Structure 1
Amino acid sequence: MNRYRSYGTAGDRSDPAHANFRYRVINRYSPDGEVPASAVWDPAPVDGAASAVAEGSDMTLCVLPDGVLAVSACPDNTTLIAPDLSRVIATYRSHDQRPFKEYEPGDAYASSLSVMPSGRLLCSVSEYGVWRYGSPLTNIVGVADGALTAASRPQITAIASLDPEPARRSEVDLRPHVAHQGTPIGLANRPRPALTELVASEDRLSGWDDSRLGRPAVMADDLFVVPFFAKTFRGGSRGQPFTFALVTDRGEMTGRLHGLHEWRDSPFTGFCFNVTADARRGHAFHLNRYGLYAWNRAGMLRARLDTESKTFKPLTHFTLHSCSPTGELLLIHNKQHLILRISVPDDLTELAATVEEALRTYARQRTALKKQAPPVNWHWTQTAILHRL
């Protein structure tokens, strides 16, 4: 899913390389890389015809067990789109636009979703007043049983929190669809101790104040990776603490992903905060400017591919997106807008050889693709059904 926008050009220019336009784009890919369908929507239409897709920050995708696509964004906006991308099935919208607009109740759901092997959902949920901010920020990790459909919004059970005591809490900030110990999240009710309280001594500079919660990843039905990061600074944040916590479905922090140095392996360089996991085999992965890392279920580092080496330096041009259900790593090239699929071996100590071969063949595969779909004005071209949402 991409968002395109170009500023300072005439609105009547039809060439997407020059025209002033803004769209979200979703492509559906077949196993052989073909694009059978695409969907676009305008997040901020000037004519007032709003899209049925609920907008927000940090937008993520999740394919539900029935094939429906869930598009989620902070604060707790979730949109369900048909598998063929033809229409919006349902929209759960929070309507929380504080501080720009007065709060009005909505039917919010989650800021991000991930599916477990059993079909349960791993969710992140926002709260108002986190670290004293006047807008909602992601603060809760929870688990939902049951199917998310147009007619059903399963209850989320909170298992972990980031800020233990958000400021300016009131009755209107209660989350009826998110429960902790049987009552709605809000006021003083949320999982304690918070993740930041469990590792309080590790951030001596700011005490985890103004930290951020990343998107949780499913490592198994009963084990998740919950990343969170200390405060960022304008002058650079390399060396700031971060934690990839291992949290059970009962909310117990049993450990973390080990082996990363706060300076040498810092995800703050380039803001590479994504962690993904292969729930089928219990592996976790992280890619930043300094390397590609892989862990086993116990949180032990099993592979580190150093980008300072000539062999793996090309990895600095990619962003780790996700891990497919079949165990493939999906990497997106930051400039060429191509997806590189890497089959991960069962033995993570063999990952280096697999990645080396994938990077070696990448240029050859890109050349072949340019012959199949010749770029026009530096844009890839395709013939596919286009849906407007």
Structure 2
Amino acid sequence: MIQTLPLVLPEPLVEFHRIDLTALYSTGWGVAALDAAATPTGETYALYRVGRYTHGVSEREQDPTAANFGYLIITRYSADGEVLASALCRTGGGDGTDAAIVDGSEMTLCVLPDGTLAVSARPNNTTLIASDLSRVVAVYDSKDRRPFGGVAPGDAYATSISVTPSGRLLCTVAEYGVWDSASVITNVVGVADGALTASSKPAIEALTSLDPEPARHTDIDLHAHVTYKGAPVSPANRPRPALTELVADEDRLSGWRYSHLGRPVPLADDLFVVPAYAKTFRAGSRGQPFVFALINDQGQMTGRLDGMHVWRDSPFTGLCYNLAADPHRGHAFHLNRYGLYAWNRAGALRARLDTATKAFKPLTHFTLTTCTPAGDLLLIHNKQHLILRVPVPEDLTELPSAVEEALRGYARQRTALKKQWAPVNWHWTEASAPVHRL
């Protein structure tokens, strides 16, 4: 079913902070989508930010209706598209206390097998939230604030989590000293078997990494729950060869030093797509190598998603690094400025929707987030703050017609939503659904 869902701003939040919805983001405020996820019963969750930062005198900063602020928002939608509830979390605590959801970069959202939400962020911070958004269930905070702060004794878990059909957790873990950096950078991909709860933290068995020898590790940088062959992952105990060592001959000029991981996705219970991107340059990186590697649960690279050209299909334009996968049918997807790509479980490209064509040009305004358990794609419009659910056919050669119909449906449903919601500059305010302050 084609579905269009708004990223809502609760009216009490807009009124309290006197947000001028007509103002340009260049004035210091903005809304930014982070991720979306769905349940087997058809419910959808969206994770996004709203914030304001402007310079002003101290008297102005004391006024909460004009001061700087930042929130993480999670919104829950029914299978029919109704807004059921939203959760607000003041980032940085707002009042000087720790935030209920551990903030960070590379923030992702995941629905765990028991229905609990997992919000993860680099470095290795995971917050568990009740499915009805009413409360925080558990917080796994690494307390690692390098390079801008120190590292205190914390309780880390993962930088990102995805779930396989049987409930295994496909995770990434950040490490200190990757590529000789003083930061904590995502480096390890692993799998955990067992339930992640407030009282249970299953071990993550490392499968592969980017930097095979992160520098400057000490005992404080080891995590007991991230293991390889029964012992914590360390410079001397980790899977080899690393992914960058396997593909090193593909970039003879600079190698894969300073490469970075994208979020891996499960293509089956025992097969995963691990995206890796070579060094990103400020002046533009189109033509830099990348690989969507197929890694099994023994850590072996069995192949890759084929068919993309390093220049013509470059994900570096617009920094489009997301992948999505339907492990039930063995489909994998990627969307960037040049096209929407779909592969089968063997890694063969089965469809390429060229955004240079009139029919698919609107895709350039969307970001791919995930596949639902039913196999639908969830795309988020970057400016109109709308989620589009795209039904995917079993036969990927029929994907072009399915996406065309979804884009036409999006236009119709967007028009209906505008009449119903009367958004201001594509900002959708909501007053009736419950708002939980975490």
Correspondences of 1:219-234 after superposition (within 5 Å): 219-234=267-282
Contact 1:128/1:134 (8 A) holds in 2: yes
C-alpha separation in 1, matches of 2:311 and 2:426:
36
2:306 matches 1:306 = no
Correspondences of 1:250-329 after superposition (within 5 Å): 250-329=298-377
Give the alignment partner of residue 7 of structure 1, picking from 34, 38, 53: 53
C-alpha separation in 2, matches of 1:74 and 1:237:
23
- 1:176 partner SS: coil
C-alpha separation in 1, matches of 2:199 and 2:220:
24
C-alpha separation in 2, matches of 1:135 and 1:20:
27
Structural RMSD (CA): 1.4
C-alpha separation in 1, matches of 2:198 and 2:144:
21
Q: Which residue of 2 aligns with 1:202?
A: 250
2:228 matches 1:173 = no
C-alpha separation in 2, matches of 1:81 and 1:46:
20
Read off the aligned partner of 2:390 and give its amino acid letter: I
Deviations 1:77-108 (A, max 9, x none): 00000000011000011011122223222110
Deviations 1:151-198 (A, max 9, x none): 000111111111000011122211110110111011321110000000
Give the alignment partner of residue 355 of structure 1, picking from 399, 403, 413: 403
C-alpha separation in 2, matches of 1:87 and 1:360:
38
Contact 1:170/1:187 (8 A) holds in 2: no
- 1:44 partner SS: helix
C-alpha separation in 2, matches of 1:99 and 1:235:
24
Read off the aligned partner of 1:5 and give its amino acid letter: G
Contact 2:326/2:332 (8 A) holds in 1: yes
Q: Which residue of 2 aligns with 1:78?
A: 126
Q: Which residue of 2 aligns with 1:215?
A: 263
C-alpha separation in 2, matches of 1:336 and 1:252:
41
Q: CA deviation at 1:377?
A: 5.8
Sequence identity (%):
69
Contact 2:174/2:186 (8 A) holds in 1: yes
C-alpha separation in 2, matches of 1:97 and 1:179:
23
C-alpha separation in 2, matches of 1:76 and 1:156:
12
- 2:409 partner SS: helix
Q: Which residue of 1 aligns with 2:433?
A: 384
Contact 2:69/2:94 (8 A) holds in 1: no
Unaligned runs of 5+ in 2: 1-46
Contact 2:85/2:434 (8 A) holds in 1: yes
Q: What is the aligned length?
A: 386
C-alpha separation in 1, matches of 2:67 and 2:332:
41
Deviations 1:263-320 (A, max 9, x none): 0000000000000100110000000000000000000000000000011000000000
2:393 matches 1:342 = no
- 1:353 partner SS: helix
Contact 2:338/2:364 (8 A) holds in 1: yes
Q: CA deviation at 1:13?
A: 7.6
Contact 2:383/2:426 (8 A) holds in 1: no
- 1:234 partner SS: coil
Q: CA deviation at 1:53?
A: 1.2
Contact 1:62/1:71 (8 A) holds in 2: yes
Q: Which residue of 1 aligns with 2:70?
A: 22
Q: Which residue of 1 aligns with 2:288?
A: 240
C-alpha separation in 2, matches of 1:58 and 1:191:
24
Contact 1:283/1:296 (8 A) holds in 2: yes
Q: CA deviation at 1:374?
A: 2.1
Q: Which residue of 1 aligns with 2:30?
A: none
Contact 2:144/2:152 (8 A) holds in 1: yes
C-alpha separation in 1, matches of 2:317 and 2:163:
29
Correspondences of 1:8-157 after superposition (within 5 Å): 8=54, 12=63, 14=65, 20-157=68-205
Q: Which moved more, 1:106-115 or 1:50-59?
A: 50-59
Q: CA deviation at 1:46?
A: 4.2
Deviations 1:45-81 (A, max 9, x none): 4420322211111110000011000000111000000
- 2:398 partner SS: helix
Contact 1:212/1:231 (8 A) holds in 2: yes
C-alpha separation in 1, matches of 2:399 and 2:424:
36
Give the alignment partner of residue 187 of structure 1, picking from 225, 232, 235: 235
Q: CA deviation at 1:31?
A: 1.0
C-alpha separation in 1, matches of 2:168 and 2:51:
36
C-alpha separation in 1, matches of 2:256 and 2:301:
17
Q: TM-score, normalised by structure 2?
A: 0.86
Q: Which moved more, 1:96-105 or 1:309-318?
A: 96-105
Contact 1:174/1:187 (8 A) holds in 2: no
